[in-house]
Amino acid sequence: MTAPASAATAAGCAAPDQAAPLPASIDLEKETVITGVVRSAQGDAVPGAYVRLLDSTGEFTAEVVTSPAGQFRFFAAPGNWTLRALSRHGNGDAAVTAGRGVHEVPVTVTD
Amino acid sequence: MSRDTALVSAEWAEKNLDAPGVVFVEVDEDTSAYDTGHIAGAIKLDWKTDLQDPVRRDFVNKAQFEALLSERGISNDDTVILYGGNNNWFAAYAYWYFKLYGHREVKLLDGGRKKWELDARPLVTDAVTRPATQYVAQEPDNSIRAFRDEVVAAIGTKNLVDVRSPDEYAGRLLAPAHLPQEQAQRGGHIPTAISVPWSKAANEDGTFKSDDELRKIYGDAGLDDGKETIAYCRIGERSSHSWFVLQELLGHPNVKNYDGSWTEYGSLIGVPIVLGDEPGEA
C-alpha cells in the first residue's frame, strides 16, 4: 500500500490538517478551494477558531477548526458562500463569490 | 429516551469529572485534537482505527467491541459520557455503537468539544490509563441499523431523511465541503428522501436545539410521525447525530441509521437517484 496520507482522511469526514499544503492529488481545475486566516481586530492570527461555510441560503455546509496559524480551508463548488468564524475572541463573517481554483478570504473576529 | 436521560450539559460534566462510575470518552476523527488537550480523565476512541474493522468494510463486531472496551477500561456498569469535535458527529456515531451493543448508560455531552472550548473550560494533556475490564457486549441491536436492501425498499413507503448539506442532497457536492470533492460515487439523493440537514438540529455552539424547535424542524420538513424512519448521510456519522435527535431526544420509535449511507448507495448499480432540491417520486 502506498496510498497517500490524505486518502485516509478523504475516506471519512475527518477534519484534515488545516495547515498542511494542498495534496498533490487535488486538481485545482476541478476543485473550488476557499482558504484564509482568521484574525482578531488587532490583526493577530486566531488558532482554534471554528469556521463554518454557509451556502447561498445561509445553510451550514461544513466546519473546520483553524490551525495554530489561524488557517482554514474548504473544498466547495462555484457559487456564493459565507464564512462564519466563532472564537473565544469573538465572531466574524466574510462573503465570497467563488469559481474554480483557490480563493483567499480573510475573516476578522471582533467581540 | 429523552433529553434528561441521553444528554448532559457542560456544567454537569465539569462537576462530575471525578464522579465514580462515570467515564468520559472523546471520539474524534482527528486524534491530534485529543492529544493537544482533552477533558480531565477522558480516554480516547478513534472512530476509524478503533471502531472500524481494519479489513472488511464494516464497523467492529461484538468481539472486537468487547476487546476494545475491555482494553480501554470501560465496564458494563459505567456511565459513558461521549463528546468530540465536529459538533459531536463522531461522538454520536459512537453513541449509536454503544446502543447497538447494548451498553446501559451512555450519554452525549451537549455541544461536545466546541462548546467546552468556547466556554474556556479546562483541557489537559495528561495521559489517561484505566485498568482493563472484562466487557461483555450484547448481540447487535439491528432495530437501529438499516442495510441497503431495506433502504431501497423504503423508497416511497418509509420516512427517508437525508441529513447532508443541501448541496450534497442536490448532487452539487459529493462530500462535506471540508473535504476534496473527487469521489467514486454518483451525486444526488435517494428518491422520496426529505432534506433535513443535521445542522438544523444544532445551535452554532454545537448544542442541540430545544425539543420544541426540533419537533418543528422535522414537522415542517414533512416527517410523517406514523411511519418508520431511516436517516442517512455520506458515511453514517452525521446521520447518527440526527438519529440521536429523533430517537433519543424526541423519542420517535423505529428510527434506523443507514451507516452505509451515500458512499454505499451512490455506488450501487441500478438504484434510482434524484438530482436537484426536490425529493422526487418513488
Tell whether B164 and B212 lie within a shared domain.
Answer: yes
CATH number of the domain bearing residue B101: 3.40.250.10
pLDDT, tens digit (0-9, with 9 covering 90-100), for A63-84: 999 999 999 999 998 999 999 9
User: What's the pLDDT band for A45 if we cut at 50, 70, 90?
Assistant: very high
Q: Is A74 on the interface with B (CB under 8 A)?
A: yes
Residue A7, pLDDT above cutoff 60: no
Q: Is residue B235 part of a domain?
A: yes
> What is the pLDDT averaged over residues A20-49?
87
Q: Is residue B273 part of a domain?
A: no
Asked if A55's CB is within 8 angstroms of B180's CB, the reply is: no
Catalytic, out of B80, B233, B245, B274: B233
Q: Is A60 on the interface with B (CB under 8 A)?
A: yes
Asked if A75's CB is within 8 angstroms of B175's CB, the reply is: yes
Residue B152, pLDDT above cutoff 50: yes
Q: Is residue A22 part of a domain?
A: no
Q: Is residue A1 part of a domain?
A: no
Q: Is A47 on the interface with B (CB under 8 A)?
A: no
To which H or E segment does residue B265 belong?
A: helix B261-265
**pTM, whole model, 2 decimals?**
0.88
User: Chain A: residue nearest B32 by CA?
Assistant: A17
Counting the structural domains of chain A, the total is 1
Specify the residue for cell string 434524484: B274
Counting the structural domains of chain B, the total is 2
What b/e readout covers A6-43, taking b as 16+ CB neighbours within 10 angstroms?
beebbebbbbbbbeeeeeeebeeeebbbbebbbbbeee
Of the candidates A84, A73, A81, the one whose C-alpha atom is nearest the C-alpha of residue A109 is: A84
Tell whether B109 and B233 lie within a shared domain.
Answer: no
For the four alpha carbons of B167, B172, B177 and B182, in that order, the dihedral sign comes to positive
Q: Is B233 a catalytic residue?
A: yes
Range of lowest pLDDT (A2-16, B54-68, B72-86): A2-16
Q: Considering only CB atoms, which chain A residues are within 8 Å of B175?
A: 10, 13, 75
Asked if B117's CB is within 8 angstroms of A15's CB, the reply is: no
Residue A40 is placed in which grid cell? 482578531
User: Rg for chain A (alpha carbons), in Å?
Assistant: 14
* Type of residue numbered B114: K
* The predicted structure's pLDDT at residue B48: 86
Tell whether B131 and B10 lie within a shared domain.
Answer: yes
Nearest by CB to B178, from A57, A62, A87: name it. A62
Q: Is residue B234 part of a domain?
A: yes
Residue B110 is placed in which grid cell? 451537549
Asked if B87's CB is within 8 angstroms of A25's CB, the reply is: no
**Residue % of chain B over a pLDDT of 90:** 89
* The predicted structure's pLDDT at residue A8: 36
Q: Mutation test of the interface with chain A: which of B87, B179, B232, choosing the one with the most A Cβ atoms within 10 A?
A: B179
Structural domain range at position A79? 27-103
Of the candidates A40, A37, A31, the one whose C-alpha atom is nearest the C-alpha of residue A105 is: A37
Asked if A73's CB is within 8 angstroms of B167's CB, the reply is: no
Tell whether B13 and B97 lie within a shared domain.
Answer: yes
